Chain A
């Protein structure tokens, strides 16, 4: 795909006097933020599809326990039935891949890389070589994760949260190298790569956004997407290192025989655990959630930014309360660092700390509500143009609302007693991430496609994709709330073992069928993305949607150094002219 994109931009390269680079410098080890953005995007989509297919297989076992998977089951096990070992591996890797290799690289790596320099009017990222390195470190991390399936004991199988002692005692391996070449150790190594990549990327994003702003672009003139990406970058920068430290310690526990997370007196399958003991398994949870709660906002903030841009363009009026929105995002980002222990209410926490964390959790719901409200109020008095990206962006609003609201019973300790670690939790965060973030990202793909390729994606296919997805995705996640209410624990290989699980089993069939329909619904999207590159309707102007931000000042696709003529910013991102029409930031009013 990236190959074609640059055939288009050739002309610009020449006219700009850029010297010809060899193929591998231009498309593979490129330092151009746009090529890197596309590399991130394509890799992330691959991982998203891979992580999704793991879940599609697991959903067969959940809907029809202990029955052989038709057609392809024999590839995995002898009798075609997904074994509990594989189920746990797929579960852990589904979570890891979707979050760390799919959504974050797509939202931050791809959209951030492609759009932030354009939106601030820069010619490239501040550190282009670092940018390239960040992609390749991510790539290696992804490969390490995939290779972990090849180890003798298979991939990591302790959930994406990797709680010790389970993650340490699971398939420990013999000796140092034997211990290293196991699923969980490879998972930890892979995480170290991914964290490093994120750090490089976030340093780059922040410096680019702050230092390379074009003339006239003060902070309060940043588009919401830039604000969202910068906040996200800070979260990645400051929340990820504790997990890196924790990852190193868990790796030491696995291959070095230390006891950071292993308490004294452990007896595993009848044998005393051979390590000194004296560690604390809860410490891992603290360090893990110190990252993983901000990570939730890493997932949602870029989506909020994308939706904001699309709503502003397609309602053809300014975003309501831009400043409130910006401060809410910053507040959200900051607060996300002090709510993490609400994931740990069941670890025997005292009343004082649990009350503290309930309170911070309730406080953090306020900026989320404000963000949603500003978007809803923007719709008032608008003239809504229902393009495909706008459809996805409008669907984001109620889906995100469901995801947010269902966080309330989980954030309050008393109701959490029943709902903790049930399907209710899964429903809650999937509503935030799947029909929330992923819908926003899809909207982003449809919206910026004409900028990236110079051509539109098909509207008809887009609408088919939208309606099928929106129905199917609710079929997948809505029943989870009922199942969670019924008390079905998450990560169960076969819930029909339990009486209350058996009673709720019909819901599993609905969810699985919906998931498979959802998979089919993505085919028109992929086909659309691939074919529109060559055969899509040509975008006649640089700014086909009538958008207001700087990326639409560049030609489509933008040439190697983005802007061939100098650009300048004259006003805040969402303002209108004297004739009551939205006016781009980069156009001087006559």
Chain B
């Protein structure tokens, strides 16, 4: 688990971090809802919303899922997944909406 040798003090430090992250997540949730009421043009709206969502996701992954101090093997696995995820998202999009046969 990688935390096997943690002392009670260290755990408590972790717990304090969890509360800070919790606060940040709540704040970002308000931000993302607020942004949506600005009715920005679609491109900026998507960009901003996804940026905020990625920040939130990053916080959850980094602190709650302990990716901050995770082992190399997990990172390698996740990098592979992220790359393939990218293929799965982008290639169909490019193929379906990219330059088509036209005359």
The answer to A–B direct touch (Cβ < 8 A) is: yes
Interface residues of A (CB under 8 A from B): 210, 234, 238, 242, 280, 282-283, 286-287, 290, 337-338, 341, 344, 348-353
* Residues A350 and B101 in contact, CB atoms below 8 Å apart: yes
Query: Closest chain B residue to A206 by CB distance?
Result: B77
Q: Would you call B38 an interface residue if the criterion is a C-beta within 8 Å of the partner chain's C-beta atoms? A: no
B95 touches A341 (CB 8 A): yes
Partner of A290, one of B81, B88, B100: B88
> A350 near B99 (CB under 8 angstroms)?
yes
Shortest CB–CB separation between residue B91 and chain A, in angstroms? 7
Sampled A-B contacts (26; CB under 8 Å):
A234-B80, A238-B80, A238-B81, A242-B88, A283-B92, A283-B96, A286-B92, A286-B95, A287-B92, A290-B88, A337-B84, A338-B87, A338-B91, A341-B91, A341-B95, A349-B100, A349-B101, A350-B95, A350-B99, A350-B101, A351-B101, A352-B98, A352-B99, A353-B91, A353-B94, A353-B98
Residue on B nearest A294 in the bound complex, by CB? B84
B68 at the A/B interface (Cβ < 8 Å)? Answer: no
Question: What B residues does A344 contact at CB under 8 A?
Answer: 95
Which chain A residues border B99 with CB–CB below 8 Å? 350-353
Q: Of all chain A residues, which has the CB nearest B96?
A: A282
Give A405 Cβ to nearest chain B Cβ, in Å. 26
Question: A349, B95: Cβ atoms under 8 Å?
Answer: yes
Contacts of B100 in A (CB 8 A): 348-350
Which residues of A sit under 8 angstroms from B80, Cβ to Cβ? Answer: 234, 238
Contact A353 B95 (CB under 8 A): yes
- On chain A, the residues within 8 Å of B95 by CB distance are 282, 286, 341, 344, 349-350, 353
Question: Considering the chains assembled together, what is the distance between the CA atoms of A379 and B81 in angstroms?
Answer: 38
Which chain B residue lies CB-closest to A239? B84
A348–B73 Cα gap in the complex (Å)? Answer: 41
Give every chain A residue within 8 A of B84 (Cβ-Cβ).
238, 337
Minimum CB–CB distance from A340 to chain B (whole Å) comes to 8
Which residue of B is nearest A341, CB measured? Answer: B95
When the two chains form their complex, are residues B91 and A286 in contact, meaning their CB atoms are under 8 A apart? Answer: yes
Question: What's the tally of chain B residues with a CB closer than 8 Å to chain A?
Answer: 15
With a CB–CB cut-off of 8 A, which chain B residues contact A337?
A: 84, 87
B70-103 with Cβ < 8 A to chain A = 73, 80-81, 84, 87-88, 91-92, 94-96, 98-101
Q: A234-B80, A282-B96, A350-B95 are in contact. List 9 more A-B contacts (CB 8 A).
A: A238-B80, A283-B96, A286-B95, A286-B96, A287-B92, A350-B101, A351-B99, A353-B95, A353-B98
Nearest chain B CB to A210's CB is how many angstroms away?
A: 7
Q: Are B88 and A280 in contact (CB under 8 A)?
A: no
In the complex formed, the residue of B with least CB distance to A350 is: B99
CB contact under 8 A between A210 and B88, given known A350-B98, A353-B94: no
Q: Which of B80, B84, B95, B96 has the most CB of A within 10 A?
A: B95
CB-CB under 8 A from B98, the residues of chain A are: 350, 352-353
Give Cα distance in the complex from A80 to B76, angstroms.
58
Shortest distance from the beta carbon of B82 to any chain A beta carbon, whole Å: 11
| B96 contacts across to A, CB distance below 8 A | 280, 282-283, 286
**Chain A, residue nearest B102 (CB):** A350
Inter-chain CA distance A349–B99, complex, in Å, is 8
Interchain nearest-CB distance for A121 vs B (Å): 20
- Measured CB to CB, the closest approach of chain B to A212, in angstroms, equals 14
Residues of chain A within 8 A (CB-CB) of B91 are 286, 338, 341, 353
- Min C-beta distance of A217 to chain B, whole Å: 16
- Tell me the bound Cα distance from A351 to B95 in angstroms: 10
Chain B residue, CB-CB nearest to A347? B95
Alpha-carbon distance A350/B102, docked complex (angstroms): 9
Give the distance to chain A from B103, nearest Cβ to Cβ, in Å: 12
Chain B residues, Cβ within 8 Å of A338 = 87, 91
Distance of A210 Cα from B73 Cα, bound (Å): 10
For the complex, give the distance between the alpha carbons of A554 and B94 in Å: 53
Instruction: Report the separation of the CA atoms of residues A12 and B21 in the bound assembly, to the nearest whole angstrom.
Output: 56
Find out whether the CB atom of B92 lies under 8 angstroms from the CB atom of A348: no
Bound CA–CA A338/B87 (angstroms):
7
Min CB distance B58 to A, Å, is 22
Question: Chain B: which residue is nearest A211 at the CB level?
Answer: B73
Nearest B residue to A245, CB-CB: B88
The distance from the CB of A250 to the nearest CB of chain B, in whole angstroms, is 16
In the complex, A349 Cα to B92 Cα: how many Å? 11
Residues in B neighbouring A349, C-beta threshold 8 A: 95, 100-101
CB-defined contacts of A353 to chain B, threshold 8 Å = 91, 94-95, 98-99
Q: How far is the CB of B85 from chain A (nearest CB, A)?
A: 9
**Distance A350 CA – B94 CA, assembled complex (angstroms):** 10
A341: chain B residues within 8 A (beta carbon): 91, 95
Of B80, B92, B101, the most chain A CB neighbours within 10 A belong to B92
